[in-house]
Chain A
């Protein structure tokens, strides 16, 4: 069974390719897939009827109680036969029905096969949760198939309506499933049915399950989606919306009827909605002009009948329901397939335009005739046998509900006879007067007088008529041997208490009288069809549920817009303020209710007096930064505050943090300055006086709340910290003495991996915001620079020019006198690209001296970090600062010389190194990112202890260097270039001009 499901899955995935290769012929191969399910079921028919039920069990999500439990008892077997048999027939039919170059045929084939597989899973699973999964899979595939012609508005709307109705039912069902599973303590359907739980929760659960069944099987009041779903291609209507998917609800009712049919909620829902649907569907079918709509409303009606019978709760009714289930699948799919033939041959399905089609398509007419005979219940067809059994079953129930159901059955059957005759007559008969012409004005969409009567233009191929004929003939064959049907189906009915029912051709005189009466009544209605149509037209349907649905969807849209309008005000300060206020309220509530503040005696003023000094520095600088109206001042003060915090880290016993904080503050300052050179020097003065107080209050409230948290948190510890063993672990397994570093690269390496990914994303974001289209392909190297290119950082006014001219004159004189041939030494190669007045010899010399020292220090920090303060982050930041110094001293060409590598390469290879090292551990049978300690002796270096997590740290180092380099290249070098473009083409600081226009 699991193999069959797998086969469907593979075939569904392969179907688009198969159709591309083999065209429509691929459907023949695909027909074998549901066909194999049919063969499997037929091969097991005898053993299943004898009570030998095939089961299989595969664990899937054990902690949810979700397993792939498959179990094929009689009911499932019947459904497998239907799903497989009709599926194979429809596949064969599709191979000739569609144009060879029809749009989306591959997608159609794949979705149809996927549906067949989902339906097979739905009817064979024994696990409620899995049933829900398959249930929704059929909903989704149905959605895709209804919306097959996605370019047509009608198809899209019908698909959307169907999926909204059925998934909302499905969601209700899911709640019911969980409730039921909890009450029963198992999700195994067979166990729940064998010993059904009871209680209020179960009543609610059953009610919710029925909501799912009612929406799926298109019962009143959710029946409207099924006629609209006729926008799907006809093979889909025949398979999903007649034989298979809509039967899922019937199946669910049939499945749980043995367990819950005696519940009041069950009786009321199933019987009233079933009977109501039976009548409404039959009534509406009588005045449809589109053949598919006649059948669609007929299907609605029959689904009501089926739900009513299988949910009735007696053994006889259950047997009759199962028989009708099989009969309906055969005749209704045969009828849809015949309509497809007529539609394909004549180009219309409007019964007012079809005349004498039966003569031209005799085999199609025969197939439809046989199927209609089965539907209306003419002996000895399968439909007759089922209906006869149903009448027998209901006739013996003297309760008022039994009588009411019997009455509904009889009236519904009369309507069925009437619309069945109307269907066959409308499709195939030769008419003297076309319908619609003789009826009162306003009756339905009247066909224009100039609309020609459609006639048959093509003879359909055998493959097109064959499937319908086979299905219809089967309705006759199975009806002729009702004993076989009884033998195969009664094991299901035996689960329900009551007298055993029988499937027979002759059920006594009373039954025969019922049949004759029903057929006569239906014939009478058909004979008076014009009068019936006119009568219906005068009485418009009191409640158009379709309209109610559409109105409520519009209301929902309106409500969504109102809610969006009320909450999404589009103001960032408002959003942030809301977040802050909610945080304050939630935290304060918790603080005030359930915690204890430390007593005054517990409090310490400070850990050391340095803390007070550094803290005061941090706070005062922060406040001054907030008060500053000048950008640069604010940034510098924020930096000072950051250095204060770094000192607090050091005092707290966190040298790594102090080091990192100092380095980051430095780089932040550089980055700020690089951007601020483009922004106005002062913050714009805004009339924010009123909101300033609000912001202040919010800020103070958040601060006070956080202070409360800070006071409470250290005392709220209830368990020993996880880090209590970190020092031992770090040394034993991580091979390092610096616990913080080992935590980063080993104990919590996964976290670090995520964090360096964030860095990569941030760096890429910066580059994409500045470079806009593509990151510069070539690096700015001094060697590659054209000598005529303008100087970097040029100033238009050069007050020092006379001085330099004087110096130059002196130098020329000294050269003539045999002095040194060079004007001055180039300390940095890139500095020659700068505008002369932008150069600083002191800075150049300092850079020349410092850069390599800094890189060596960084390498030391990188390698020493495992045992003493340092590590990849710190080392990367040091190299970043070294690069920033090079850039500031020598401009962008100097930066290119200093780091002739693309930042993306550094970021990518850094992350790759970290992740790759983690995976290498897998090769040696360790878990991902586990460290290995290697010890060996080298001739010069002596004893070496190499921990593999060093490579992880090198990866971190690469990412951090890449980040800083990316920032320098974007916010430094690339903005330089923007400025140059701007000043070449127009005045500076005018973003609206054409030069920057090119940058947008």
Chain B
């Protein structure tokens, strides 16, 4: 049913490449608004790529309207359809994040994670990145410590 295997249309390939290139360029920005625009452009590019991978253009995949031999591949279309709607959901979510970031920090820029920086700095200085009370520093070995542990024993005995 699907059209014979043919090379894709050069126009589509160029559009896909250009959309993704611009999208990635924007994705690597710090302003969340531009990141979102980058995400949308990349998403459009990838959706087109899926269609291209499915084969050449054809008639709408509707039985009775198009001869099955001439139909475009319906499977990538189903995938892309949900992808488009999910992009909407993700966009809304990221925009809500941008708004929240503006509320808290007065801008919508993605800052570097301070905690990561702190870990890196402490690692460079060879200092412990965190403190763990259970990491023993005392010279006493664990079996000596175990000798000090007593059970909550019953009414047969008690501490003096």
The one of B13, B61, B68, B129 that contacts A710, using a Cβ cutoff of 8 Å: B13
The one of B1, B86, B114 that contacts A727, using a Cβ cutoff of 8 Å: B1
The one of B40, B78, B96, B155 that contacts A458, using a Cβ cutoff of 8 Å: B155
The one of B10, B16, B102, B155 that contacts A99, using a Cβ cutoff of 8 Å: B155
Interface residues of A in 286-341 (CB under 8 A from B): 289-290, 292-293, 296, 340-341
Please name all residues of chain A whose beta carbon is closer than 8 Å to the beta carbon of B11 when the two chains form the complex.
Answer: 605-607, 611-612, 615
Binary CB contact string for chain A from 717 to 759 against chain B (1 if under 8 A, 0 otherwise): 1000111111110110000011110011000100110010011
Shortest CB-to-CB span from A287 to chain B, Å, is 12
Question: What's the tally of chain A residues with a CB closer than 8 Å to chain B?
Answer: 183
Interface residues of B in 123-160 (CB under 8 A from A): 123-124, 126, 128-129, 133-136, 141-160
Shortest CB-to-CB span from A705 to chain B, Å, is 9
The answer, yes or no, to whether A798 is at the interface (CB within 8 Å) is: no
The one of A652, A679, A700 that contacts B98, using a Cβ cutoff of 8 Å: A679
The answer, yes or no, to whether A457 is at the interface (CB within 8 Å) is: yes
Interface residues of A in 942-967 (CB under 8 A from B): 960, 963, 967
The one of B17, B41, B56, B150 that contacts A625, using a Cβ cutoff of 8 Å: B41
Chain B residue at minimum C-beta to C-beta distance from A464: B156
A707 near B28 with CB under 8 A, answer no
A554 near B135 with CB under 8 A, answer yes
Binary CB contact string for chain B from 23 to 59 against chain A (1 if under 8 A, 0 otherwise): 1111111110110010011001101110111111111
Chain B residue at minimum C-beta to C-beta distance from A560: B129
B152 near A622 with CB under 8 A, answer no
* Interface bracket on B: 35 or more
A710 near B16 with CB under 8 A, answer yes
What's the Cα separation between A626 and B68 when bound, in Å?
41
Please name all residues of chain A whose beta carbon is closer than 8 Å to the beta carbon of B156 when the two chains form the complex.
Answer: 96-97, 341, 344-345, 458-461, 464
What's the Cα separation between A160 and B135 when bound, in Å?
10
Q: Knowing A619-B19, A675-B95, A710-B52 touch, does A715 contact B7 (C-beta < 8 A)? A: yes
What's the Cα separation between A949 and B112 when bound, in Å?
47
Please name all residues of chain B whose beta carbon is closer than 8 Å to the beta carbon of A480 when the two chains form the complex.
Answer: none
A744 near B44 with CB under 8 A, answer no
Chain B residue at minimum C-beta to C-beta distance from A619: B18
Please name all residues of chain B whose beta carbon is closer than 8 Å to the beta carbon of A604 when the two chains form the complex.
Answer: 6-10, 56
B89 near A695 with CB under 8 A, answer no
The answer, yes or no, to whether A170 is at the interface (CB within 8 Å) is: no
A723 near B2 with CB under 8 A, answer yes
A622 near B41 with CB under 8 A, answer yes
Shortest CB-to-CB span from B75 to chain A, Å, is 4
What's the Cα separation between A292 and B8 when bound, in Å?
78
The one of B73, B80, B119 that contacts A723, using a Cβ cutoff of 8 Å: B73
Please name all residues of chain B whose beta carbon is closer than 8 Å to the beta carbon of A715 when the two chains form the complex.
Answer: 5, 7
Q: Knowing A645-B44, A873-B85 touch, does A155 contact B122 (C-beta < 8 A)? A: no
A561 near B27 with CB under 8 A, answer no
B151 near A343 with CB under 8 A, answer yes
The one of A641, A651, A755, A978 that contacts B41, using a Cβ cutoff of 8 Å: A641
The answer, yes or no, to whether A98 is at the interface (CB within 8 Å) is: yes
Give the one of B84, B108, B109 with max A CB within 10 A.
B84
Shortest CB-to-CB span from B53 to chain A, Å, is 4
The one of A572, A619, A698, A999 that contacts B103, using a Cβ cutoff of 8 Å: A999
B28 near A660 with CB under 8 A, answer no
What's the Cα separation between A758 and B55 when bound, in Å?
28
Q: Which of A245-253, A428-436, A630-638, A776-784 contacts B (4 or more CB under 8 A)?
A: A630-638
The answer, yes or no, to whether A790 is at the interface (CB within 8 Å) is: no
The one of A154, A562, A580, A678 that contacts B142, using a Cβ cutoff of 8 Å: A154
Shortest CB-to-CB span from A450 to chain B, Å, is 13
Binary CB contact string for chain B from 71 to 101 against chain A (1 if under 8 A, 0 otherwise): 1111101111110111111111101111110
A963 near B92 with CB under 8 A, answer yes
What's the Cα separation between A655 and B49 when bound, in Å?
17
Chain B residue at minimum C-beta to C-beta distance from A700: B21
Chain B residue at minimum C-beta to C-beta distance from A444: B144
The answer, yes or no, to whether A683 is at the interface (CB within 8 Å) is: yes
What's the Cα separation between A343 and B34 when bound, in Å?
70
The one of B18, B30, B90 that contacts A573, using a Cβ cutoff of 8 Å: B30
Chain A residue at minimum C-beta to C-beta distance from B141: A546
B134 near A153 with CB under 8 A, answer yes
The answer, yes or no, to whether A576 is at the interface (CB within 8 Å) is: yes
Chain B residue at minimum C-beta to C-beta distance from A639: B40
The one of A461, A664, A711 that contacts B88, using a Cβ cutoff of 8 Å: A664
The answer, yes or no, to whether A671 is at the interface (CB within 8 Å) is: yes
Shortest CB-to-CB span from A656 to chain B, Å, is 6
Q: Which of A28-36, A230-238, A416-424 contacts B (4 or more CB under 8 A)?
A: A230-238
The answer, yes or no, to whether A157 is at the interface (CB within 8 Å) is: yes
Shortest CB-to-CB span from A534 to chain B, Å, is 19
What's the Cα separation between A667 and B52 when bound, in Å?
26
Chain A residue at minimum C-beta to C-beta distance from B142: A228
Please name all residues of chain B whose beta carbon is closer than 8 Å to the beta carbon of A975 when the two chains form the complex.
Answer: 99
Binary CB contact string for chain A from 451 to 471 against chain B (1 if under 8 A, 0 otherwise): 010111111110010000000
Chain B residue at minimum C-beta to C-beta distance from A236: B151
Chain B residue at minimum C-beta to C-beta distance from A229: B146
B157 near A653 with CB under 8 A, answer no
The answer, yes or no, to whether A800 is at the interface (CB within 8 Å) is: no
B16 near A963 with CB under 8 A, answer no
Chain B residue at minimum C-beta to C-beta distance from A230: B146
Shortest CB-to-CB span from A99 to chain B, Å, is 5
A102 near B152 with CB under 8 A, answer yes
What's the Cα separation between A343 and B74 when bound, in Å?
77
A635 near B37 with CB under 8 A, answer yes
What's the Cα separation between A661 and B44 when bound, in Å?
9
The answer, yes or no, to whether A763 is at the interface (CB within 8 Å) is: yes
- Extra 16 A-B pairs, beta carbons < 8 Å, given A607-B12, A695-B25: A100-B154, A569-B117, A622-B18, A622-B19, A625-B37, A626-B22, A648-B48, A653-B57, A667-B88, A671-B92, A672-B95, A706-B17, A706-B20, A714-B53, A727-B74, A739-B71
Mark B residues whose CB is within 8 Å of A: 1-2, 5-31, 33-34, 37, 40-41, 44-45, 47-49, 51-66, 68, 71-75, 77-82, 84-93, 95-100, 102-110, 112-117, 119-124, 126, 128-129, 133-136, 141-160
Can you give 21 contacting A-B residue pairs, CB < 8 Å? Answer: A98-B152, A228-B141, A230-B146, A289-B147, A340-B151, A458-B158, A568-B116, A569-B112, A576-B27, A604-B6, A619-B18, A625-B22, A657-B47, A683-B31, A704-B17, A707-B16, A730-B74, A743-B78, A869-B62, A992-B106, A1000-B104
The 6 closest A-B pairs by CB, nearest first: A703-B21, A570-B116, A565-B123, A570-B113, A762-B89, A227-B143
